[in-house]
Amino acid sequence: MTSDLLKDQTRKKLDNQIFLGFAAETGSDNEIIEKGKKKRVLKGCDLLMANPIDRAGQGFDKNFNSGFLLGPKKMVKTLSFSTKLSISHQLLDEIRNHKS
């Protein structure tokens, strides 16, 4: 059986660490959010970026993306279609502001 690297690492989390996971998902916005919420808890992440991979102009081989940043207390932030660089800056800001 293949090890779940993210889940293995979150089990070893130190007090000063924040784990941001990523989930490539398909479906409607609501389906992606619900799958992402479950995955965030299952993997033990503080935050999880659930991004649709079935939308035109974005995904693995594109320079653009969008998605939903999920966190504790039912936090859902929409990250609108933008460059991956812009999304990464938004994620870094959220990590910086995150209180575990």
- CATH code of residue 66: 3.40.50.10300
pLDDT tier at 76 (50, 70, 90 boundaries)?
A: very high
Range of the domain at 40: 17-97
> What is the domain count for the chain?
1
Alpha carbon distances (Å) from 88 to 11, 27, 42, 96: 25, 23, 23, 12
**Is 8 among the domain residues?**
no
Flag the least confident range among 29-33, 65-69, 95-99: 95-99
pLDDT given at position 32: 97
Q: Which two tokens stand for residue 43?
A: 């993997």
